[in-house]
Amino acid sequence: QKEVEQDPGPLSVPEGAIVSLNCTYSNSAFQYFMWYRQYSRKGPELLMYTYSSGNKEDGRFTAQVDKSSKYISLFIRDSQPSDSATYLCAMSDRGSTLGRLYFGRGTQLTVWP
């Protein structure tokens, strides 16, 4: 069993929909939780990160961490066609977003106009 599980989708939604992307994990030592976005034929880019439990909001994006359930989520409000990409969750058991990182398989999202 992988340490980080993520449903690969694909997920297809209409423009304006609220999107929910999720990952579960098994290692209770994870402290930093990250979401990367990867457009087709490009390298990933860091979208958001959260330390420990709680919520973090950045524009249309909200990241949530529930350490008691070992479950993290990324919500996208008012989704746009430009949000179409693969979203990868990643986790770290070090005191930062760097070092040994554990990635989910990625969820492919398509937002259609």
Residues that bind another protein (CB under 8 A): 6, 8, 36, 41-46, 49, 88, 90, 96-106
Q: Which of 90, 91, 92, 64 is nearest to 76 (CA)?
A: 64
The least CB distance from residue 67 to another protein, in Å, is 21
Q: Which of 108, 107, 104 is nearest to 4 (CA)?
A: 104
CA 8 to CA 87: how far, in whole Å?
Answer: 9
Is the Cβ–Cβ distance between 93 and 39 less than 8 Å?
no
**How many Cβ atoms sit within 10 Å of the Cβ of residue 50?**
20
Pick between residue 18 and residue 46 the one whose CB is nearest to another protein: 46
Report residue 86: phi and psi, to 5°: -100, 130
